[in-house]
Amino acid sequence: MFGILRDMIQPLGDRHTYVKADDIKLGFRGSRPDPGELSNDDYMKYSEIVWSKYVGGELKSFCKGKIWFGLLDGSVGYLGVVHK
């Protein structure tokens, strides 16, 4: 399953994607050329701006806060999966 999910997100070239399998100690983060890394504080500010500006309404939490879902413009979904 890990290999299938990794192979699905790798061609996207998107740093917003990540797959982690604790049981087999593997993880894969999508990548693309990045002009610069954000500090944790800057990332939190960025996330708050994106959520408040683009997510229409509330993000709904599932699985004890590990999965978040919302709509961006009424027809495009936003899915966040916490991997910690």
Q: Each residue of 17-72: pLDDT tens digit?
A: 889 998 999 999 888 766 667 677 887 787 778 777 777 777 888 888 888 888 87
Question: What secondary structure does DSSP assign to 7-64, as a single string?
Answer: HHHGGG--TT-EEEEGGGTEEEE-----S-PPPHHHHHHHHHHHHHHHSEEEEEEETT
Domain assignment present for residue 15? The answer is yes
Decide: 70 and 56 in contact? Cβ < 8 Å.
yes
Domain containing 12 equals 1-31
The overall pTM is greater than 0.85: no
Domain assignment present for residue 71? The answer is yes
Domain assignment present for residue 80? The answer is yes
Domain assignment present for residue 62? The answer is yes
Band of residue 4 on the pLDDT scale cut at 50, 70, 90: very high
Structural domain total, the chain: 2
